[in-house]
Structure 1
Amino acid sequence: MPFTPTEVQAIAATEAAKVTHLSLHKGNPGTTGANEASGAPYARKTTTVTAVGGVGTSTEVLFDLPGHPTDEYNHFGVWAGATFIGGNPLSSPKKDTEPFQVKLTVIFPITAS
């Protein structure tokens, strides 16, 4: 049964309101948040997500990275507190290069399963 556009927006807005943090990953985070970046000063970043037409857009966050030039981040993760919600590939991989920071705004579909 397809949902009406109004219901799709209501579902997306409810799901978007759950999101509290974003994370960076060196590989697919799967269903658990695996492959997350690590090492000081890296930390998950607080964000809010707005939803329009079933698409979520986060506020911009700035990740501080540990300064390992060989590291490449190719996925992001979405969290509700300490609970992993899901993740997707980045539109382009990010390298851990000077100034050892990655600025990120994520845009992703929010769908009812």
Structure 2
Amino acid sequence: MAIAVAATRQSLADNYKGLGAWVSLHTGDPGTTGTSEASGGTPAYARKQTTWTSSTGGVVNGSQVTIDVPAGTYTYAGLWSAATGGTFIDKVLITSTALGAQGQILVTPSITVS
């Protein structure tokens, strides 16, 4: 169902951004609990906090984050309520990125309610 009223779409998007701002990377489908989250590496993998900014018409954009990850293949990004632990909010399939050695993956989150 598409939401016809732009103000309603924006209100929903703004509420969504209030759920969490910590971005994660995953080596497989995280399901509904955030499984397959990256770990290890030097520097060590850690979730990164995005800064949400509102737009209009149901769009919220986050600042780009740079996440250090060990060698592996990364297929999903996630959103959490905290830097560690916390509540798993959502996931998105990303372009599969395979790293043969320690590296960095850039993620720029956005939310669009239509």
TM-score by length of 1: 0.80
Query: C-alpha deviations, 1:2-43, integer Å up to 9, x for none?
Result: 452211111111211332200001111111011111114101
TM-score by length of 2: 0.79
Which sections of structure 2, spanning at least 5 residues, go unmatched? none
- How many residues end up aligned between the 2 structures? 107
Percent identity between matched residues is: 35
Tell me which residue corresponds to 2:47. Answer: 44
Q: What amino acid maps onto 1:35 in structure 2? A: S
Q: Secondary structure at the match of 1:37?
A: coil
Q: What amino acid maps onto 1:50 in structure 2? A: T
Matched, 1:104 2:107: yes
Q: Secondary structure at the match of 2:18?
A: helix
- Assess if the C-alpha contact under 8 Å between 1:57 and 1:108 holds in 2: yes
Matched, 1:58 2:62: yes
Aligned Cα root-mean-square deviation (Å):
2.1
Tell me which residue corresponds to 1:20. Answer: 21
Q: Secondary structure at the match of 1:57?
A: strand
Q: Secondary structure at the match of 1:31?
A: coil
Which sections of structure 1, spanning at least 5 residues, go unmatched? none
- What is the CA distance between 1:107 and its match in structure 2? 3.0
Alpha-carbon spacing, 1:64–1:33, altered in 2? closer, same or farther (3 Å) = same
Tell me which residue corresponds to 1:79. Answer: 80
Matched, 1:89 2:90: no
- Assess if the C-alpha contact under 8 Å between 1:28 and 1:88 holds in 2: no
